A = this chain, B = another copy of it.
Amino acid sequence: MNPALPKVGRGSLERKGGVKLITRDTDYALRALCFMLGRKNEIVNVGDLVKELKIPKPFLRKILQILHKEGVLVAYKGRGGGFLLARSAESISLLGLMEIFQGKFRLNECLFKKVVCPNIKRCALKKKIDKIEQYVLKELRLVTIASLF
Q: Which residues of A contact B (CB under 8 A)?
A: 1-7, 10, 12, 14, 16-22, 24, 27, 30-31, 34, 53-54, 68-71, 73-78, 80-81, 84, 86, 94, 98, 100, 102-109, 111, 115, 118-119, 121-122, 124-125, 128-129, 131-132, 135-136, 139-140, 143, 147-149
Contacts and interface: CB of A to CB of B under 8 A. Distances in A.
Contact of A18 (B6, B22, B104, B140): B104
A136 B106 CA distance: 15
A8 to B, nearest CB: 8
Nearest to A82: B1
- How many copies of the chain does the oligomer comprise? 2
A79 B2 CA distance: 12
A136 B139 CA distance: 12
Given A1-B80, A1-B81, A109-B20, A31 B70 contact: no
Contact of A105 (B18, B70, B118): B18
22 contacts: A3-B84, A4-B77, A6-B70, A6-B71, A6-B86, A10-B70, A12-B70, A12-B100, A14-B103, A16-B102, A18-B103, A18-B104, A18-B106, A19-B102, A21-B107, A24-B111, A31-B119, A122-B148, A124-B147, A128-B143, A132-B139, A135-B136
Given A4-B68, A22-B107, 15 more contacts: A1-B81, A5-B74, A6-B68, A6-B75, A10-B71, A18-B102, A18-B105, A18-B106, A20-B109, A21-B21, A21-B108, A31-B122, A34-B119, A34-B121, A135-B136
